[in-house]
Structure 1
């Protein structure tokens, strides 16, 4: 652990945290979240996950070479009218670390456009300023990233799509490995923000029936399949579904019902620790894909494994958002959607396929296989750049 910072907001008294787990070439990467109940322990675990996520995507031939892992968190309700003011004070307090060590972006409860607006008000050029010394041409790299952020595909920004595309590709690879026909498979997605919404879109495009989506207001379900595009068109900026857009056959219910809807794929894409040893027992899905960070507790994952239900871990499944930023910034891909989609699909299938092979050979979990790959990559990174801090 390189650094832990705890902060108290002078305006509301709420707490905020920044954990830099590891530096590689002097820089760490990780998003900023805001949610009631966010703790230092949670942020610490997320920062460790970012270290794994970065290491997992180490490919020596790429221009993008992994950074260290970090995470920020604020214990505050993002729906509160004071949330933006709290965010601004937090970013001002963390300014020296943003300028020197921490490259950051959106996470649960915090949108990238709001981060960018607030940083501009504070006189900071971008949320990835710390990475500029590692770039051959920072101005050209930032323009390439800005151009990518301007790309829209069927009404949604490319930056909102790449993470969910990666999750969907991980899920589709898992279905293939389990011998399940994607066109006969059903999926349930918890969370309909940028990650959950994009995951639902790409699963539906691949022929998987998205039969239920849970948002902060409850559950929307239809065993024949939901109209994902129609629901995306009517969601609010936090991913809440407009119930006025529901079709005949769509039903609503309590949010906790998402775990018991019959489906082959379960995608927790909202909050951490939502599947624990109490709720695990009701799951009948054949595959769990972690789109959110830390949604399945270790005990629940062990019990799922004992029941023959594999879990594709978060630092694998949801790694595309992070990597897409750096692939674009360093110039491994251009700003076009087709380049991004090809890279994400190729990389995620290339990650998930070997995990299933390794798990089948050893009898271990997908997480254990992924951790072994991370450990090997971290050793290679240290050998190349010197031991990380």
Structure 2
């Protein structure tokens, strides 16, 4: 079969989603296919429903009044290579047979030859009875700001940090929050008047066994209570209690949660998966459609929903699509590589890296790694541009 390159027909690459994965893959493709784009042989478009790119890990620091929401945003156009067309619109369906995207309202459809879906995940706290009114979180800009205001007034009582949603974005964040809160409250002089309890729905403190083995004694050392196998069924905002599926009840004065997450209904409408897009875990090709890739949080790959995973996946997909555009067999593969920084307080951090067949090794926390994480937060915008 002759390729589009051989027949002289322009190939259209469309990326849906303007987060880490979508932005990085767009910029990497713009670099790898520079000659084809300049010659008019390839058209490269990124579609996103917001003019701004949001770096969500900043929200953790917003909650403790150490960053502002404005620090998490940059205009998408500033981050994208000029060869990438930017379309601000909302995709409502994908016809994978006709290779066409449908948009809200009467907006013109868009065809594609190669499609990358990187729409991320959404928060659905409303799926837990009482959670919307009874709990706080730092997984959105508005949520982080509300939590910041609550923490500023919180000087005594029971702080419960509960992981309710699994899977969820940023696998380190649930354990980072109580560890940072411990030191932050000490500096404010009210830690002795505040009990902290951390809950997790599995039989250990974290989904990764080595991380759980490391953090459990650290929680004990820091006076942070731990409740495992804690599957939240409902929250009672009036009584300020959290109830589990096995009948346990925990009282709180301030409830901070990792709320339930959901994939995109676009996945089911396009028959790419029931909720998460089903992909080959190494090639990231959709298993239900041809010439469709998915990366980042929207996929069903068996690794963490972390920005670093989306970054590494973006490199693999960019390489594979560039090969396909040129009529070459794609060979790049994703091995599950993920890297996460973990704050252990206000001035120290560690990091873990792992893959599909590799458990993370937790290194001793240090000031150096803490400052490295802060430096990465500042340099993230270079990463989004595909420069790191």
Establish whether TM, by shorter chain, passes 0.5. no
Choose between structure 1 and 2: higher strand proportion: 2
Greater helix percent: which structure? 1
Larger Rg: 2
TM-score scaled by length of structure 1? 0.29
**TM-score computed with the length of structure 2 as normaliser:** 0.29
